[in-house]
Chain A
Amino acid sequence: MVQIIESQYKEILARYIREQSEQNLYAGQRLSRQFLQENVQPEEVISMHKAALEELHGELPAEVWHSFDLLVEMMISYGMANRERQSLVKKQEELRVEMDLAAHVQDTLLKTDRPDVEGLDIGVVSIPSRAMNGDYIYFVYDDEGSAGVAVADVIGKGIPAALCMSMIKFGLDSLDNAAANPSEVLGVINRIVEKSIDDAMFVSMFYGKYNAENAVLTFGSAGHEPAILYRAETDRFEELRAKGLLLGVSPKAKYEDRDVQLRTGDLVIAMTDGVTEGRTEAGFIDQSIIFDMVREKKEAGAQEIAEYLYEELSRMQQADLRDDFTLVIYKKS
């Protein structure tokens, strides 16, 4: 193969020396791509050039040939850097494959089933900004009509955040009581997180428990973005705020339980800051923009509203999500 390239190079060089046309230069450019494919190193290119020129114009003075020897020497380091680059590209590809596998494991491991609760329509969207998700949604429910949802956001992204998620999932799994109040749930997870993760890592979490019997949502928050409540009757928005420190800060942290009565058509939207802190060229996305979008789609099903919000907000950000994007919608039907 290299011999063929060598003779092609000589051919092109001969033509170019005869006639300095753009066409001949273009032929050279195309051949250089083949050099890369065949892994021809820079120093070999110089050597090839020298050999071809010797055959074509052996009459040239000795100074010319000496100069190529220096050039070969000069290009060795570039060749070394080039080979190193190729090996790094290969390694990067291997890492990417591993990341994909890890993301797949994460999906399987952290899978959660959407509860089927009377009078409640649930929509979920969770899109990671990188391969692995640092946001997490988990449902806890029973046959008695309790449906709890945890929306968590690990401060930080990527693999460390994803690893931390598994811990939260197993913490929630171990509760095994869908009727537990947010203050209890957040308290338990707080102690687990506080013991297990490093001081620089924090988790915010919203926990909402819906009771189908009386249509009351009991919610609590550990330093999480307030959820939004849309009142169908008045066409107004309220923020669902509750006091509580981020998980993992202090083992003594206490969390609130707050109740809100849901009525037909009401929407509860719990999200992570990837939703509210989206940026466009004009700055942060205003909350009123999100409100307008919700109003626009309020008649639709919860899943449709969730997907609509994601599509619109990511379109506004030119599909350049900087943070994981997660939201859950409870719609009282």
Chain B
Amino acid sequence: MSNQSSVEILTEWDIVAARQLGRNVAKELGFGTVDQARITTAISELARNIYLYAGQGKIEIQRVTEKGLNGIMIIATDNGPGIPDIRKVMEDGFSTSGGLGAGLPGVKRLMDDFRIDTNLGEGTDIRATKWLR
């Protein structure tokens, strides 16, 4: 079961729109204030990466259900340059560099599940889910 909506990321204002969409869905699902803030921060980080490094892309917000749990999934997709070394980008300490993919370890920690697919020259697809407990 899924129910989705999305925001195209072209300008910095679209980051705010993506956050708003995510917050609305998170609130409707019953996430508390702290988790709402975590989810929107994760959306912010992913949307900023798109805005700064890919130029344009899309943030989708999906309601997901699995094994009796409800959750929210953020899907960030772009057709940008891709990330050359995922392992490096996912390492702690790298996020402070401010470069491409910075903040991804943080996003991974803020959410429960995290998956990244990236191809050089083709783009990146990141899916991050938080479950309601």
Task: Report B1-57 residues with CB < 8 Å from chain A CB.
Answer: 32-34, 37-38, 40-41
Contact indicator A72/B92 (Cβ below 8 Å): no
Task: Name the CB-closest residue of B to A75.
Answer: B37
Chain B interface, number of residues (Cβ within 8 angstroms): 14
A43 to B33, CA, bound (A): 10
Contact indicator A47/B33 (Cβ below 8 Å): yes
Note all chain B residues with C-beta closer than 8 A to A87.
92, 105
B93 at the interface (CB under 8 A from A): yes
Known A47-B33, A76-B110, A83-B109: A88·B38 in contact at CB below 8 Å: no
Which of these, A43, A84, A88, A91, contacts B34 with CB under 8 Å? A43
- Distance between A22 CB and nearest chain B CB, rounded to angstroms: 30
Task: Name the CB-closest residue of A to B34.
Answer: A47
Note all chain B residues with C-beta closer than 8 A to A72.
33-34, 37
- Distance between B46 CB and nearest chain A CB, rounded to angstroms: 14
Note all chain A residues with C-beta closer than 8 A to B106.
77, 80, 83-84
Note all chain A residues with C-beta closer than 8 A to B105.
84, 87
A69 at the interface (CB under 8 A from B): yes
Contact indicator B93/A76 (Cβ below 8 Å): no
B79 at the interface (CB under 8 A from A): no
Task: Report B57-75 residues with CB < 8 Å from chain A CB.
Answer: none
A44 at the interface (CB under 8 A from B): yes
Which of these, B34, B92, B93, B109, contacts A44 with CB under 8 Å? B34
Task: Report A25-57 residues with CB < 8 Å from chain B CB.
Answer: 43-44, 47, 50
Contact indicator B33/A69 (Cβ below 8 Å): yes
- Distance between B87 CB and nearest chain A CB, rounded to angstroms: 14
Q: Could you give, for residues 177-209 of chain A, a 1 whenever the CB lies within 8 Å of some chain B CB and a 0 otherwise?
A: 000000000000000000000000000000000
A73 to B105, CA, bound (A): 18
Chain A interface, number of residues (Cβ within 8 angstroms): 15
A83 to B33, CA, bound (A): 19
Q: Is the interface of A mostly helix, strand, loop or mixed?
A: helix
Note all chain A residues with C-beta closer than 8 A to B95.
84
Note all chain B residues with C-beta closer than 8 A to A80.
41, 106, 109-110
Which of these, A47, A73, A83, A84, contacts B93 with CB under 8 Å? A84
Contact indicator A88/B92 (Cβ below 8 Å): yes
- Distance between A218 CB and nearest chain B CB, rounded to angstroms: 53
Note all chain A residues with C-beta closer than 8 A to B34.
43-44, 47, 72
Note all chain B residues with C-beta closer than 8 A to A69.
33, 37
A97 to B28, CA, bound (A): 48
A127 to B93, CA, bound (A): 33
Note all chain A residues with C-beta closer than 8 A to B110.
76, 80
Task: Report B84-121 residues with CB < 8 Å from chain A CB.
Answer: 92-93, 95, 105-106, 109-110
Excluding A76-B110, A84-B106, 19 further A-B contacts by CB distance (< 8 Å) are A43-B37, A43-B38, A47-B33, A69-B33, A69-B37, A72-B33, A72-B34, A72-B37, A73-B40, A73-B41, A76-B37, A76-B41, A80-B109, A84-B93, A84-B95, A84-B109, A87-B92, A87-B105, A91-B92
Q: List 17 A-B contacts (CB under 8 A).
A: A43-B37, A43-B38, A47-B32, A47-B34, A72-B34, A72-B37, A73-B40, A76-B37, A76-B41, A77-B106, A80-B41, A80-B106, A80-B110, A83-B109, A84-B92, A87-B105, A88-B93
10 smallest A-B Cβ distances: which pairs? A80-B106, A47-B34, A76-B41, A87-B92, A84-B92, A73-B37, A72-B37, A83-B109, A43-B34, A88-B92
